[in-house]
Structure 1
């Protein structure tokens, strides 16, 4: 059976697979977001900056295979899975209508949190995007797993029809393999805050259109309906199939992008199409990662500092996501310490590893002292205060 452990704060049983997935996901998001602030290096391919050493090129290769457009779908899948868990629990306690109201309220507060973070701190937002996805998909939570699977397939097919063409057109318009970095080094907090506030409503629309998350949220709802991460012992064959099949597809789908600008120099439209394929096969990567963590839940025991630290971060994922994003902006952005101006690809990865290690230590300390994640605690209060 999957190993369960008892949360010392709530005295409730938790699945190791879910919390390890959440804690590990936060590490992938750090690695995905740090390169966006390396503004003194020439753009590489899409969001990557150009490497200058063999190690830089190797790390860019790993990022494109393992992290880019794979961390975001994993986050979306875990978000969808969490919606099912909330819905199921609240249906048992209060009924389906109350469960819908609770989830909608939670999603509205996610949107508010994301807007505040994007506007005041300038962080890379995904909270608004997932909050909107939750509002759009809350009615699907009453459907069975077969219908949810059908919705996930249909939404993915829709994305297949427009994402590669859209990105091909975007690269043609930019006449470059890489996306321009807007930072110049002259930014201050005050002279950029107006721009940040103006773009708040645009950010989630941009994300949903160019980096769609709804298919992955639906995949997470489907996995939640099957209960594969809570009871992986009942789904071993499916989890193995999803792990092997989806991660293989994710790897193969990343190869065209990896080759661009090193051994392959296609037209801009073809390069954009390759990036669209990278995004779409990232959906499979997210499912593969989620299934892999489900399998890990069968064998990993709640012992050892590392496992306990990752699970501690995982059950405080909202708090540590915000912490990581704010740290990235403060450390790398010109509005604060501006070390993004002097980092290389390699040193930025080292910084990301160090950031995750330090915050893991904080999460472990909080768990030992039975300190709840402050944002989780506040979100719970806001969501349930009127019930």
Structure 2
């Protein structure tokens, strides 16, 4: 079988409108997962603003703090760091295939759909550039735009087997890199530690300590370009997650979670156990429980992405199971689920809003709270920011309005046909 994507017998280019991509009820699981994911992103990003603290060679988290700070550091390293962006990548890739297949189901021309997707991903790169230049160097919108641009062209119409083979090969390479780094770190631990020097992570964190906002623009863009290429492609995590998402979306794994409950259960259990297990080892080293020298802690820069990939996929599967359980209760959902899914439906707006709120509060060119907060304070601020976006998205949901950034991206991709 050449492809799992249905092709209409009589394509009609005029059918390519935004409604072609949104007609029908939305699957609960992806929106629910995106909504919670935005909370995890806030928790993962705020430690980068703590520019007055010292860091290790393997983590941006402070190397000291109160007992509560250390507990928060342990929890975030174990369950959040390197686990969120694979989750985001999977949901992003899943959404690409959802949009493509819905368009074809309504008789749209496949080439016209791919052109729209191409414009969408190019504009994502542009939005990411502006986001990094103005506020947040760790922008991921541009990285996903790059991946979407390449993978839509290279894999959208490939066979299921091709997707799984590529995902398997890339996972093998990532596993090999993590294994080699682990072995190398054992030998490196026998050597005397090098002279103290500021590491790459410390340099990135210090960008938020620049007091003159115009002077911070170029350093932020330098970091963004690095993340665009390394995190977006070379780390292999996002490509692997996107390939698996393409396959899962074709089989409607999150659209029909009850039908795929056994698969989702297996992925959730294995993924979260591996993800938390690998993250826990790093967390124990960071808080000083495991006697792993800091000068070889760079090994976690390879093991964390690998175990984080498992953890991110486990989280997605878990939300698929939650959605299946909610569906068994009936067609209506409670107010909490409604509010969280409202954030998921407006994920781009909620994501950018985090930077609009956090950067002026925490950066040195703003109020400079990043110089006085510890890990616990930063986590509390992250939760507060997410609750603000939750409130805003809930109000928009009640009024039947899109998020402003989501509306803009839609308008840029479709032109005037995007409507409101």
Alignment TM-score > 0.5, same fold? yes
Q: Does 1:32 align with 2:54?
A: no
The alpha carbon displacement at 1:166 in A equals 7.0
Q: Does 1:59 align with 2:89?
A: no
Name the CA distance, whole Å, in 1 between partners of 2:338 and 2:151: 33
Q: Report the secondary structure of 1:295's partner residue.
A: helix
Name the CA distance, whole Å, in 1 between partners of 2:246 and 2:413: 20
Q: Does 1:122 align with 2:136?
A: yes
Name the CA distance, whole Å, in 2 between partners of 1:335 and 1:278: 32
1:73-113 per-position Cα deviation (integer Å, ceiling 9, x unaligned): 10001001011111212233323222222221111111011
Contact 1:165 1:272 survives alignment (8 Å): no
Name the CA distance, whole Å, in 1 between partners of 2:395 and 2:373: 30
Name the CA distance, whole Å, in 2 between partners of 1:178 and 1:51: 19
Look up the match of 2:33: 21
Contact 1:164 1:272 survives alignment (8 Å): no
Contact 1:256 1:274 survives alignment (8 Å): no
Contact 1:60 1:345 survives alignment (8 Å): yes
TM-score by length of 1: 0.90
Question: Of 216, 231, 237, which residue of structure 2 is paired with 1:192?
Answer: 216
Look up the match of 2:15: none
- Aligned in 2, Cα 1:197/1:185: closer, same or farther, shift over 3 Å? closer
- Aligned in 2, Cα 1:319/1:241: closer, same or farther, shift over 3 Å? same
Q: Does 1:206 align with 2:230?
A: yes
Look up the match of 1:3: none
Name the CA distance, whole Å, in 1 between partners of 2:323 and 2:238: 25
Look up the match of 1:365: 395
- Aligned in 2, Cα 1:308/1:84: closer, same or farther, shift over 3 Å? same
Look up the match of 1:80: 93
Look up the match of 2:160: 145
Name the CA distance, whole Å, in 1 between partners of 2:357 and 2:138: 12
1:280-337 per-position Cα deviation (integer Å, ceiling 9, x unaligned): 1111111101111111111226433211111111101111111112222121111212
The alpha carbon displacement at 1:196 in A equals 3.6
Query: What is the number of equivalent residue pairs in this alignment?
Result: 379
Name the CA distance, whole Å, in 2 between partners of 1:350 and 1:256: 24
Look up the match of 1:112: 126
Q: Does 1:133 align with 2:163?
A: no
Name stretches of at least 5 consecutive residues in structure 1 with no aligned partner.
Answer: 1-6
1:200-241 per-position Cα deviation (integer Å, ceiling 9, x unaligned): 544412323357421112122222122111011110111111
RMSD: 2.7
- Aligned in 2, Cα 1:14/1:134: closer, same or farther, shift over 3 Å? same
Q: Report the secondary structure of 2:171's partner residue.
A: helix
Q: Does 1:320 align with 2:350?
A: yes
Look up the match of 2:102: 89
Name the CA distance, whole Å, in 1 between partners of 2:274 and 2:227: 29
TM-score by length of 2: 0.83
Q: Which moved more, 1:166-175 or 1:372-381?
A: 166-175
The alpha carbon displacement at 1:194 in A equals 3.6
Contact 1:244 1:288 survives alignment (8 Å): yes
Which structure is larger by alpha-carbon Rg, 1 or 2?
A: 2
Equivalence map 1:348-363=2 (5 Å): 348-363=378-393
Look up the match of 2:407: 377
Q: Does 1:157 align with 2:165?
A: no
- Aligned in 2, Cα 1:212/1:234: closer, same or farther, shift over 3 Å? closer
Name the CA distance, whole Å, in 2 between partners of 1:224 and 1:350: 35
